[in-house]
Amino acid sequence: MTHWEDAFNKYTTKLQPTKEDKANLPISITEWFIAHDQGDRVRFARLHNECIWNVDPNRPWIYLQNNERVEKDTLC
């Protein structure tokens, strides 16, 4: 199972996206969901077969597998 599938299955309750959520998604992202994790509203997205996440629009997207930053070039 991929990290994306693991995350998608782990968070069974998906939240309704806000305008901020939608505005924070890179244009290349087509699969995503919002969930609460440890008190935060977290945006999870599929980037190829990887899962990336973001909490704050002013902070970078992070790979779920290793917590490394996703480079902007990769998101485009």
Q: Mean pLDDT, to the nearest integer, of 47-58?
A: 90
Kindly report whether the global pTM for this prediction surpasses the value 0.85. Answer: yes
Q: What is the pLDDT of residue 34?
A: 95
Please compute the mean of the pLDDT values over residues 32-42 and round it to a whole number.
93
40 CB contacts (<8 Å, ≥6 apart)?
55
pLDDT score of 21 more than 80:
yes
**Rounded-to-integer distance, Cα 75 and Cα 30, Å:** 12
Q: How many CA atoms lie within 13 A of 40 on its CB side?
A: 11
pLDDT at 65 over 90: yes
| Residue corresponding to tokens 């994306």 | 4
With a cut of 80, say whether residue 76 has pLDDT above it: no
